[in-house]
Structure 1
Amino acid sequence: MTSYALLVAPAANRVYAQAAPRLTLAELAVLDATVGQGRLGPAEVVELAGVPYVAFDGDLTTDDLAHVANVSTALALFERQGELLRPVPLHRLDRFDDDLLTILKYQGKTNELFTRMLLNVTVQSSGAAGRALTERLRILDPLCGRGTTLNQALMYGWHAAGVDLDERDVEAYAAFLPTWLKRKRLKHTADTSRLRRDGRTLGRRFSAELAPDKESWAAGAAIRVTVDHADTTAVPDIFKAASFDAIVTDAPYGVQHGSRSGGALQRSPLDLLAMALPGWVRVLRPGGAVGIAVNNRTSPRADTLQVLADAGLQPLDSEPYRGFEHRVDQAIVRDVVVAVKGPAQEAGRG
């Protein structure tokens, strides 16, 4: 049994920085309950030489260490040998420079560390967890805003698709990504076209293909990303059934997102989820997972889990999934809810 100490990355947001060690405990608990299969011991926050670390014991496999390397807050990992710390190399999935995630600053942007955690927890809870380190998964954010989730999926080398009703957000992403790729001198293509299905125009689509290096591009191993300007309830009209490994999104906290189903702009978080989820579930592969960030003040956890269950999903509400609640500001107490399509993993049953 080896003892480890994980150094938590600092966060620019002071409130999130205060919550980060506790959220790391929750993220490690889900990792242990899913892909770790109990090989990670219970984690705790400890102070070493005046610096907070997250400590845990475990008999970890090479894959376990690879998953730990991708923990959202992992700045460095050490083996504890008495009073000494021995660095453990972190072999991350990251394919691109981290400014793909950090360079954009705008009001309402989701903290990129939180987005990474939400994506990690969702994929680890899905049937695709065993392929996450070696294959290109396909991720959908059906309320994608300006693309933080999409960019995190790209960082991992995964294909990404987004849908958003706000044309300005879609245009902002369509302007940002090609500019970033050109500045990085990365091989890519990018264009915008009409989004049509069955003779109907649903909106507009930005699409791009990119690669982290020339060798990948030459080998035809490009990563694909699309962003559609459309209503989230149109997801089953836009994408093929059973085509995504995971769906990861921020539910509306009360004002950010909406749907024009029925002609009127609908912003009620639970009502929007109830309308949209059946379509989301249709495009999710069997064993796929849905991970949603919610504001407990407007979408209480129990009510959100019930909406997920009503859509035919199996909510995961065991102890490892109950440690993600944290304050964002006076109006937002954020939480993470996860559900799977088909039988849930035994470790995740509520």
Structure 2
Amino acid sequence: MKRALNKTLYIIAYGFWYLVALLPFPVLYLLSDGLYLLISRVVRYRHKVIWKNLKNSFPEKTDNELRLIERGFYHWFCDYIVETLKLITMSKEQLMKRMTFTGTEELNRILSEGKSAGVYLGHLGNWEWITSLPYWVDNALCCQLYHPLENEYFDRLFKYVRERQGALCIPMQESLRKIIQFGRNGKPLVVGYISDQTPFWWSIHHWIQFMNQETPVLTGAERIVKHTRQVFVYGDMTRTSRGHYNCEFRIIREETKGLPDYEITDLYFQELEKSIRRQPEIYLWSHNRWKRTRAYFEENFEEVDGKVRLKEGKK
């Protein structure tokens, strides 16, 4: 019964998504403007989380300056929603016009030498449109890590949309095995890592200062990059105008195998912070990024032989 219900919901969702995606961009942006009024003025979607994140990240700014960023965030977030819906029907020509990449010459040089690249990104701009990268690189397999959805039908839908341009989705739990497997096929890889999510308690091995706050960070991508000798590349996203984005590739470290622990992670967050401070309104402030504190972690958890576990007597 549950399976049949999920399949029915999937068919409805797919049909609705596709019909909306057939609308031209001017109409979609009118819908976005209406959605902005609803979620920012009526619903006030995650306002407390957004405001807390902004206040803590920019203590030097006045409340008026923060309100401008918040309004800009809501406008961008609504655009991001309709732009992502549009992805299911966008042609190669549309995507290459609206999602451009610079620094591809250096990226293609790396690939021509048989090296693979690990491209670090953040929840900045329209990261879903990054899946159009296969249109811009030569003789490489592009893929991105993702968290599969619990509902298998909706997972299939989102996976289909993200793979339409030729970039493969790799489930997080299979990442290293799949990357090694793909690497044996002879083609160099370009692997996208969106690594600014909040780690689970038992995945916390490193803390940094990020956006003026002590922050636990994911380090799994770094271990994969070093283990497979990928070149460390940062993808610097900007929104050049409404519905148009650019991602600039910058090689941060070409040799990664022998780098000290967490150097790649630290450098990534330094680059990401510069990008956020340049265009703060296009970062995902509604995510409760700083919900885990170091004080709580140190009180309740400990690391033993590289694994994080609850301290004795803690629940």
TM-score interval (norm. to shorter): 0.3 to 0.5
Higher relative contact order (CA 8 A, sep 6+): 2
**TM-score scaled by structure 1?**
0.32
Q: Which has the higher helix share?
A: 2
Q: Which has the higher strand share?
A: 1
**TM-score scaled by structure 2?**
0.35
